[in-house]
Amino acid sequence: MKKIINDPFNFVDESMEGILAAHSNLLKAAEGNVRAIVRADAPAAHKVAVATGGGSGHLPVFLGYVGRGMADGCAVGNVFSSPTSSQMKQVTKAVDSGRGVLYIYGRYQGDMMNFDMAAEDCAEDGIEVQTVLVTDDVASAPREEWQKRRGVAGLFFAYKIAGAKAETGSDLSSVRTAAEKAVSNMRSMGVALGSCTLPTVGRPTFSVSDDEMEIGMGIHGEAGVQRCKLENADQIAATLVDYVAEDLPFCKGDEVAVLVNSLGGTPLEELYILYREINRLLTERGIQIYRPYVGRYACSMEMPGASLTLMKLDDELKELLDAPAETPFFVQN
């Protein structure tokens, strides 16, 4: 296992301790718990808070987007595992300024169970909690059941939109409505060229032959929609655009935000080769790119592969997308 780690069972805590040491100007641990991370200035006064959480191993998601203009706090689970409801409760209490908390996270069973328990507990303490599930992964359920899909890289857009809305001073229902619009307007599809290795397991979770790839694989290695021969970049771009664009569908005249995301191991050079063709294909369809993001936004540690997310924009979403943000892993002026 080619990893720079100590005891694999300390992987998450040590990584969190490093993050807190490096970013103490932006982040702090709620109640001293390195698995319950909140903005350094939490609770941010007079605004609705956005809280999230999920398993480790996906940096910058989830924790990396805690900061001004995005999320207020994050509960941190073990690698690819849900955080506990008590961690979520610690986060919720630390971020609530009295105006309520919006939970935004990917639709996974473990997270749903724990977040719901935390929300119930917090309600008893007088904290109002509402929830928006991110369900952008086209590969994980049929089109008509899109609200049952898993959440993947679209989480980034959900934080960006909800966080910007919350910074305007809007109330909890308005922030939730903006986040819901973002989620219902976005779709993602990924392709994996190989596996990552869980530190405590020490060998790849699954294998993909040297000449194969898997379309639609989830960010924890969940089975995708098709295992096939490794295609070239332009073919992969076409496959991703077809799946994503035809699902919402995204149509001629639409303006979109684009996210071309590395699953971790795939370098920036390759992402831009993909973006080059995605840009051409969207233009050919009459879909206009309002703002592109290319890089590592939601990873599976060192997994080679990439994903495409599109979010259809209206005037409100454009304004919220353009708003400034400052987190340890994402800064926008």
Catalytic residue ranges: 58, 220
Task: Give all strands of the β-sheet with 305-312 in edge-to-edge order.
Answer: 226-229, 212-215, 186-192, 305-312, 255-262, 288-295
> Site for a second copy (CB under 8 A): which residue of 116, 255, 302, 319?
302
3-state class (DSSP) for residue 322: helix
Question: Which candidate, 55, 57, 95, 47, places its Cα nearest to that of 76?
Answer: 55
In Å, how far from its chain's centre is CA 273? Answer: 23
- Only segment of 41-49, 159-167, 179-187, 261-269 that touches a second copy (CB under 8 A): 261-269
For tokens 């103490």, the residue is 24
Q: Which residues inside 134-193 make contact with a second copy, applying CB under 8 A?
A: 193
Minimum distance from CB of 132 to a second copy (Å)? 26
- The set of residues, in sequence order, having a beta carbon less than 8 Å from that of 305 and lying 6+ positions away, is 190, 191, 192, 193, 194, 213, 217, 262, 263, 264, 265, 266
- The answer to whether residue 273 forms part of the interface with a second copy (CB under 8 A) is yes
- The answer to whether residue 61 forms part of the interface with a second copy (CB under 8 A) is no
Minimum distance from CB of 37 to a second copy (Å)? 12
> Site for a second copy (CB under 8 A): which residue of 22, 113, 201, 251?
22
Closer Cβ to a second copy, 134 or 192, answer by number: 192
Minimum distance from CB of 209 to a second copy (Å)? 10
Alpha-carbon span 182 to 326, nearest angstrom: 20
- The answer to whether residue 214 forms part of the interface with a second copy (CB under 8 A) is no
- The answer to whether residue 229 forms part of the interface with a second copy (CB under 8 A) is no
What are 119's two structure tokens?
A: 């929300």
- The answer to whether residue 204 forms part of the interface with a second copy (CB under 8 A) is no
- The answer to whether residue 11 forms part of the interface with a second copy (CB under 8 A) is yes
The CA R_g of the chain, rounded to the nearest whole Å, is 19
Minimum distance from CB of 181 to a second copy (Å)? 25
Alpha-carbon span 152 to 221, nearest angstrom: 12
The pairing of beta strand 212-215 with beta strand 186-192: antiparallel
- The answer to whether residue 201 forms part of the interface with a second copy (CB under 8 A) is no
Q: Which residues would be at the binding site for a second copy (CB under 8 A)?
A: 1-6, 11-12, 14-19, 21-22, 56-57, 59-60, 64, 193-194, 210, 230, 232-234, 236, 264-276, 279, 292, 294-296, 299, 301-302, 304, 306, 326, 329, 331-333
